[in-house]
């Protein structure tokens, strides 16, 4: 289930629970709603952990991509310098 759906359903259960408690519904029904509320809170906490893991993974991936780009640029710069020295050397020989 998507995070946004959890939020919506969690809010619906909270509002329904408050509404039922105000109406003094049977205690069994309230207990069931409290259990459902706890289940949603647990799911929400688990999803938050998953979101944190994905966020950290994305940051690490971006850092690795930047490092790869820096390495690629340095390789291109080295190749360019070698090519310039080769041209200079060839110009001196001619």
Going by the DSSP 8-state scheme, the letter that residue 26 receives in this structure is -
Q: State pLDDT tens for residues 6-62.
A: 677 777 777 777 776 666 556 677 778 778 888 888 877 777 777 788 888 888 888
Residue 66: domain span: 3-93
Residue-averaged pLDDT of the chain: 76
As for how many domains the chain has, the answer is 1
pLDDT of residue 70: 79
pLDDT tens for 52-93 read 888 888 888 888 888 887 777 787 788 888 888 888 888 888
Q: Residue 21 has what pLDDT?
A: 62
Q: Report the C-alpha gap between 62 and 39 in whole angstroms.
A: 35
């Amino acid at each position: 289930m998507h995070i946004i759906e959890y939020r919506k359903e969690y809010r619906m259960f909270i509002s329904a629970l408050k509404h039922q408690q105000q109406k003094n519904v049977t205690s069994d029904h309230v207990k069931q709603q409290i259990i459902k509320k706890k289940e949603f809170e647990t799911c929400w906490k688990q999803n938050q952990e998953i979101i944190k893991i994905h966020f950290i993974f994305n940051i690490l991936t971006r850092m690795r991509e930047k490092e790869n780009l820096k390495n690629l640029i340095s390789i291109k710069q080295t190749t360019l310098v070698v090519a310039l020295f080769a041209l200079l050397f060839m110009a001196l020989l001619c």
